[in-house]
Structures are given as C-alpha cells and as structure tokens.
Homo-oligomer: A and B are copies of this chain.
Amino acid sequence: MTDSRFYRREGPFSLAQLAEISGGSLSDATMAGRMITDVAPLYRAAADDISFLDNRKYVQAFEACGAGACVVHPELAEMAPAGMGLIVTLEPYRAYAMIAHAFYPQSRTVADVSSHAVIDPTAKIGPGCRIEAGAVIAAGVEVGARCHIGANAVLREGVVMGDDCTIGSNATISYAILGNKVWIHAGAAIGQDGFGFAMGPKGHLKVPQLGRVIIQDDVEIGANTTIDRGAGPDTVIGEGCRIDNLVQIGHNVELGRGCVLVAQVGVSGSTRFADFVVAGGQSGITGHLKIGAGARIGAQSGVMRDVPAGQTVIGSPAVPAKEHWRQIGMLERLAKKHGA
C-alpha cells in the first residue's frame, strides 16, 4: 500500500481490465471479474493487489506470494501459487508499468504561477504551466504549455523548452533548447561551459564555449547530472534517452535515440553514441570516439577505442565481453597456481 501522504490511487480494476491495459492475456478466464485495488511488491502483496515477476532472483518470493494477481512471463507462470490470477506476457516489466500507470496516473500539471517566482517580463510562458516559488526565469526564455518548473529552479537567458516539460527543484538550465516531455530532475546543471582551455606551463587559457545543449523529446535526466554545452558544435541528447543521476556529459557529445546511461557515467567531449547504446554505472568513455548502435558498455568500464554496433565491451581498458571474461578467468587460475 502506498503512502497516502505522497500518492493518490485510481481504481479498482478487474483483472480483465488490467489484462487489456497491459496487453497481456489472462491465463484463467474465470478470474476476469476479480477486483484489484493496488500494485505491490511480491513480498508484501495481498489478495487485492497485483504484483509482477521479472527477475529470476525473486522466484522464491513469487512462489510464496499472497498477491491476488501477478504479471509473469509464460516460462515462469507454472511456478505461481494456487489461486493467483496471472496476466501472462513476454514483457512482464513493461506490462506492470502500464498497470501501475493506470493505478497512479502521472498527475496533470495544475496551472499555477507562484507569486514568489521571479519571471522576467520578456519571458514567454505557455498556458497551463505550474511555476513554483523561488523559480527564476530570465530574459528571453520561452516555456511551452503545461510545463512544471520546480521551486528554486533557474532557467537562464534565452532557454527554450517545448510542452509538458518538468524541471526539478534547484536545477539550472542555460544555453539550451529542449523539446517536449523533457524531464530534468532536481539539481541537474545543464548548459554550463565545457571544460575547454588551452593548457600551458604559464597557465591555462579558457576557450570560449559557443554552442548549446539540444535535448530532444521524451528525455529524462537524473538528479545532479551535468551536461556541458557545445564548444562550437552543440551537445545533443537524442529522443527518448534515459540518463541517471550524477552523470557527466562533456561538450559536443552527441547521444542518439534511446540511449541509457546509468548513474555516475562520464562521457568525454566530442564522443558520439548511435541509437540505443547502454552504458553501465560508473563507466567512462574517452573523448572523440564513436560508439555504434546498440552497443553495451559494462559498469565501471573505461572505453578508449571506438565500439562497433551491437558489441558489448567490459573492463578498463574495455575489451569485448568474451575477451574480458577470459582475461578475468585466466587471472584467477594463474593466481591460484602461482600464489604463495
């Protein structure tokens, strides 16, 4: 049961409704009318809750689960306890997400511009926006419809955003053009100067940073993440990217569509990701590289060379996954043999 301090629930829904919502199929039609009032994790779901099984680590919890219903992959369906309603689908996590959205729809932005926000008279604010106390919106900014600007967020001179964007509290956005449905979490810093200077023994000379940050539609950017603007070219975040907390994106970086960057990743300047690249937590990618479509970079890896499309690389320096595990295995064996 969610905490009513923070969440408001819709429903209840019948299992038939939830099967339709999720695109899964109900394994036992006689249960179509069973009413479900909430979503819950396996370990605490009760008779009127629906849960989901997506990770084999939790099969035991599934077998012991008291949920009235569960979303599950066909291969694991037979391990369900007796009496549990089953919505079967090849993508249980996605199906669960759709059900959870039904119970907890994203609350529509309630139009409300706080009298404690500071909005420059030259800024244009679209209809239906919520702008909270302490937000500062500078000259020439353009905000689309139904955007939500959190308390103490700062939109600096000239920033543009489309419709349905959310900017978290204490975030700072500058030199940036955002599409629609961009969600930037608390404390993120977008658009500041890249790390550009000519090094020299008598001191480092700053190089003017003259580009922007372009963020395409439907992008999520995590808390306290930093994205530098381009040095001349732009820094570009492609449509549908998901960027976690505390990630660093250097100047001129281009991410294709649907890339996923887990927390604390660092991408150095001018590197390009094609579409749907996944970078594991704390991995680092050197500057001026090309990472091919669908490539996967293991957590903590250090990528120093281009990565072909579809390849998985791991290690620091990163090598193809198979090679990495062979090195690790050999190291273990040798250490056992040669060890004192």
Using CB atoms and an 8 Å cutoff, list the residues of chain A in contact with chain B.
2-3, 5-7, 39-41, 43-44, 55, 57, 91, 93-94, 96-98, 100-101, 103-104, 106, 114, 116, 118, 132-134, 136, 138, 140, 150-152, 154, 156-158, 160, 168-172, 174-175, 185-189, 192-193, 195, 197-201, 203-208, 210-212, 218, 220, 222-224, 226, 228, 232-233, 240, 242, 244-246, 248, 250, 258, 260, 262-264, 266, 268, 276, 281-282, 284, 286, 288, 299-300, 302, 316-317, 319, 323, 326-328, 330-335, 338-340
Q: Which residues of B contact A281 (CB under 8 A)?
A: 248, 266, 268, 284
Q: Are the C-beta atoms of A154 and B152 separated by less than 8 Å?
A: yes
Extra contacts besides A98-B205, A170-B189, A250-B263 (20): CB < 8 Å: A5-B140, A6-B158, A6-B175, A100-B207, A134-B134, A136-B152, A168-B189, A192-B222, A195-B244, A195-B263, A201-B276, A203-B240, A223-B226, A248-B264, A266-B281, A299-B302, A317-B328, A326-B335, A326-B339, A330-B335
Q: Which residues of B contact A157 (CB under 8 A)?
A: 6
List 15 interface pairs A-B (beta carbons < 8 Å), by A numbering: A40-B232, A41-B233, A55-B288, A114-B118, A195-B222, A195-B242, A204-B260, A206-B220, A248-B281, A263-B268, A268-B281, A282-B302, A319-B332, A323-B335, A326-B340
Distance (whole angstroms) from the CB of A91 to the closest CB of chain B = 7
The 8 closest A-B pairs by CB, nearest first: A94-B198, A189-B223, A172-B186, A136-B151, A118-B133, A226-B245, A5-B158, A186-B189
Q: Are the C-beta atoms of A170 and B198 separated by less than 8 Å?
A: no
Contacts A94-B198, A152-B154, A326-B340; is A101 near B208 (CB within 8 Å)? yes
Q: Which residues of B contact A212 (CB under 8 A)?
A: 3, 6
Distance (whole angstroms) from the CB of A42 to the closest CB of chain B = 9
Q: How far is the CA of A157 from the CA of B102 in the complex (A)?
A: 22
Q: Which residues of B contact A186 (CB under 8 A)?
A: 154, 172, 174, 189, 192
Q: Which residues of B contact A211 (CB under 8 A)?
A: 2
Q: How many copies does the complex hold?
A: 3
Partner of A299, one of B197, B222, B286: B286
Q: Are the C-beta atoms of A192 and B204 separated by less than 8 Å?
A: no
Q: Which residues of B contact A104 (CB under 8 A)?
A: 208, 210
Q: Are the C-beta atoms of A197 and B97 separated by less than 8 Å?
A: yes
Partner of A331, one of B260, B316, B327: B327
Partner of A172, one of B158, B187, B199: B187
Q: Are the C-beta atoms of B5 and A187 separated by less than 8 Å?
A: no
Q: Are the C-beta atoms of A282 and B266 separated by less than 8 Å?
A: yes
Q: How far is the CA of A197 from the CA of B244 in the complex (A)?
A: 11
Q: Which residues of B contact A156 (CB under 8 A)?
A: 151, 169
